[in-house]
Amino acid sequence: MDELNSLTVSEERLEDCRDVVEPDLQDLIQRALTSGFSREEVLIAVSELVAEDFAMVMRTPSVH
């Protein structure tokens, strides 16, 4: 199990969740690429959005 700021996540559940999320993420990336954005732009945008959501869940300031 991984612990981050008192958040404990089961590795097995995290792996299962990744399996569910990954296909939609790949579809999202592909749609953004076909809209003319570079892979780097897409990944940075997704990373920033995830960081903002994670900061809200953890109730910490966002770094983005």
Is residue 62 within 8 Å of 51, Cβ to Cβ?
yes
In the three-class reduction of DSSP (H, G, I as helix; E, B as strand; rest coil), residue 15 is classed as helix
Q: What is the mean pLDDT of residues 30-50?
A: 97
pLDDT bracket for residue 57 (50, 70, 90): confident
Q: Give per-residue pLDDT as tens, 7-36.
A: 678 899 999 999 999 999 999 999 999 999
Alpha-carbon span 61 to 31, nearest angstrom: 30
Alpha-carbon span 62 to 51, nearest angstrom: 7
Residue spans of the domains in the chain: they are: 9-63
The DSSP symbol for 57 reads H
Is residue 15 within 8 Å of 6, Cβ to Cβ?
no
pTM score, whole prediction = 0.72
